[in-house]
């Protein structure tokens, strides 16, 4: 049975085997002799005939697959990202006569070269097995990050900082070289940064990678956990990625705030293809939440962009918006955008879908909705081809007044960040508060990864 990158090509043949338990509906009376009891027990044992190694379960499932087991990878997030781009592209390019090309594996998967079974392991178990000797080198991370996966949880990174200064390097049996360093930087106001850097190079220098982990803290209560990684593989693919998680006290509200961010970028070494993503999330203890993302991608003659944001004020007001567009080198352009604002059941939605041909001819359709909170909705719109509508309908109003992932969730998923211990503050010494930017700026990607 063949297996594809998204799972089995055909459903596996699962056979359900039921172990039949036999019971005698007519037990012997209590006056039976001992010999009769023994014969009855032997009969019952023959009826059961269960192998000793089988678990005490009534049902067991066996998979009759001739091939080795391959984990089924979910492509939902990629499908959603590509669905709009290629469906819109097909419609636009039919009019312009431009052929549509499919997405390359470079965009779809970042770990196709690794063994399938290794995907079942956690990140820490994969790179640092429990039986690995203390002086052995870290294993290679020569694969680009995955697209459209958002901001990873801190547990997915498996950050494990060493408690002592380390500076070591070596050469493996296959000729690859590696290094690992760790240390601690101290500064004013109780600042402390513990860090670990590691990296490696293949025997022929065709693959290189480096990764840095850190945790920061000071006497103001600021704590930060972060990762930065970059590299290139033998196929010429290059990448850069950073991830940060921060907790601090907001200078205006004096509330605790947790912020998470991620930047990812990859570039194909075989053709004109690459992508860049920037994600961020901000939460405070009273329910205020902000989320957003900026994305860019290119595949040969086709380029696309996407931006979206969400803002919840913690008191019932919500703002959401999305803006995405694409273009080809022949001049065809198309896009779609929308926005919604709601508070206490009253609000509005509006949007626009548009298309520009290579000759500059533009088509667009705009639409809007006004929700009055009484079961009435005013809908209106028009297009450049003469369409128009303006009606009031009976319709329920639905919107999300609270984020599906909020303050309680992010606190529960930030145990490692919250457990960072700052330097001990001497008696009589008080932290100097900085009322500048609420959070440190995220490092910009190297110039070679510029999406433009």
pLDDT at 142: 63
Placement of tokens 């998923």 in the chain = 413
pLDDT at 13: 37
pLDDT at 55: 38
Distance CA 280, CA 259 (A): 7
pLDDT at 217: 97
3-state secondary structure of 250: coil
Average pLDDT, the chain: 75
pLDDT at 373: 94
3-state secondary structure of 368: strand
Half-sphere exposure of 175 (CA within 13 A, CB side): 6
pLDDT at 371: 97
pLDDT at 434: 60
pLDDT at 262: 97
Beta bridge partners of 63: 14
Q: What is the DSSP code (8-state) at residue 81?
A: H
pLDDT at 144: 78
pLDDT at 252: 79
Question: Do residues 266 and 238 touch, judged by C-beta distance below 8 A?
Answer: yes
pLDDT at 190: 94
Distance CA 419, CA 425 (A): 17
pLDDT at 378: 98
pLDDT at 136: 62
* Segments of the chain with pLDDT less than 50: 1-38, 41-134, 436-443, 446-452
Distance CA 86, CA 340 (A): 25
């Amino acid at each position: 049975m063949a297996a594809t990158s998204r799972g089995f090509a055909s459903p596996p043949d699962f056979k359900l085997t039921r172990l039949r338990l036999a019971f005698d509906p007519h037990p012997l009376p209590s006056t039976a002799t001992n010999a009769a009891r023994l014969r009855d027990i032997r009969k019952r044992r023959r009826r059961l005939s269960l192998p000793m190694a089988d678990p005490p379960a009534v049902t067991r499932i066996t998979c009759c697959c001739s091939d080795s087991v391959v984990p089924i990878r979910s492509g939902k997030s990629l499908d959603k990202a590509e669905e709009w781009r290629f469906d819109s592209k097909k419609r636009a390019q039919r009019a312009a006569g431009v052929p549509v090309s499919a997405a390359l594996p470079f965009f779809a998967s970042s770990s196709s070269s690794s063994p399938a079974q290794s995907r079942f392991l956690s990140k820490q178990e994969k790179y640092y097995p429990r039986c690995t000797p203390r002086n052995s080198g870290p294993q290679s991370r020569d694969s680009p990050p995955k697209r459209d996966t958002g901001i990873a949880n801190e547990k997915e990174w498996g950050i494990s900082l060493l408690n002592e200064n380390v500076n070591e390097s070596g050469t493996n049996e296959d000729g690859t070289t590696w290094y690992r360093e760790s240390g601690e930087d101290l500064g004013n106001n109780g600042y402390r940064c513990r860090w670990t850097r590691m990296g490696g190079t293949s025997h022929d220098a065709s693959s290189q990678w480096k990764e840095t982990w850190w945790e920061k803290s000071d006497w103001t209560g600021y704590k930060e956990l972060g990762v930065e990684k970059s590299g290139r593989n033998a196929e010429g693919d290059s990448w850069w990625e950073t991830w940060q998680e921060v907790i601090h006290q907001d200078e205006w509200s004096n509330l605790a705030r947790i912020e998470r961010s991620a930047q990812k970028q990859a570039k194909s070494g075989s053709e004109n293809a690459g992508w860049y993503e920037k994600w961020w999330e901000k939460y405070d203890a009273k329910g205020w939440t902000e989320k957003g993302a900026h994305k860019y991608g290119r595949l040969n003659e086709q380029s696309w962009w996407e931006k979206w944001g969400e803002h919840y004020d913690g008191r019932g007001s919500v703002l959401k918006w999305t803006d995405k567009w694409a273009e080809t080198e022949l001049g065809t352009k198309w896009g779609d955008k929308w926005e919604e604002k709601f508070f206490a059941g009253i609000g509005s939605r509006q949007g626009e879908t548009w298309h520009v041909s290579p000759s500059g001819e533009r088509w667009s359709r705009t639409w809007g909705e006004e929700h009055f909170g009484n079961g009435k909705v005013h809908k209106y719109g028009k297009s450049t081809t003469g369409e128009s509508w303006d009606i009031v309908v009976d319709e329920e109003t639905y919107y999300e007044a609270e984020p599906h992932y909020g303050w309680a969730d992010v606190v529960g998923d930030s145990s490692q960040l919250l457990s960072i211990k700052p330097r001990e503050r001497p008696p009589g010494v008080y932290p100097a508060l900085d009322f500048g930017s609420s959070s440190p700026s995220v490092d910009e990607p190297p110039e070679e990864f510029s999406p433009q």
